[in-house]
Amino acid sequence: MISLKTRIALVTGSSRGIGQQIALGLARHHCDVVLHGRMLDHCAATEKLVRGLGINVYNVAGDLGTEAGIQSIVRGVADGPGHIDILYNNAAIMNPWTPVCETPLPVWLQTLQVNLFAVIALCNAFVPGMRKRCFGRVINLTSGIKETPHLAPYGVSKAAVDKYSQELAVDCKETNVLVNCLDPGWIRTDLGGPNGMFPVETVLPGALVPALLEDNGPTGKFFSAQDFKYFD
């Protein structure tokens, strides 16, 4: 397990829910954090939680459903810490509960834009710098959802994230940029709904495992946050 002190992590969708817990966990490991929300003031609650932990905190804003929003995030990092070492692609949207053959194309496009294409765009923006610095951890959040055709756009987008992550991991092999997927479990959040199996706090400590991997450690793998109840 490496030290995250002096490292900088961007956590998309960290204004609440799973992203907020990940940012808090990173801060407890003395990692500087870049918080993200669609609007800057959305980050206030998370910023309040992590400010007292003796780290540097930066806020960026941008709608992952638009090219302008993605570029706003990239510029925010450039104007703030200047670079990141760890990227948590956490933000995602869920499509409305609709029979698969009745789901209109715009819903598919919107879901894929936020859940997949924004992930790719942020990796394109930040992974080359990680490679140059010979250090990087990319953690793309996925889902164990299956056999749920009424949520097909969401499920398909997450399956695509899995495949993309595997390909990126191969491309980054032997660069010490580790690319892995993280399934947080079915969590009771605004996205997961009130019937989720686990409270949001249970994503820790497991959600941090892919960020804490030793240099040149596992890559292209699938981690489940709920598999880890504690570690030293």
CA nearest to 89, candidates 186, 215, 184, 228: 184
Which residue, among 206, 209, 217, has the nearest Cα to 177 in the 3D structure? 217
Q: Catalytic: which of 88, 154, 164, 230?
A: 154
Complete DSSP assignment for 181-225: EEE--SB-STTT-TT-SB-GGGGTTGGGGGGSPPTT---S-EEEG
Cis before 153? omega within 30: no
Gap between the Cα atoms of 222 and 188, Å rounded: 21
164 is catalytic: no
How far apart, in whole angstroms, are the C-alpha atoms of residue 119 and residue 160? 11
* H or E element in which residue 76 lies: helix 67-79
The catalytic site residues sit at: 154
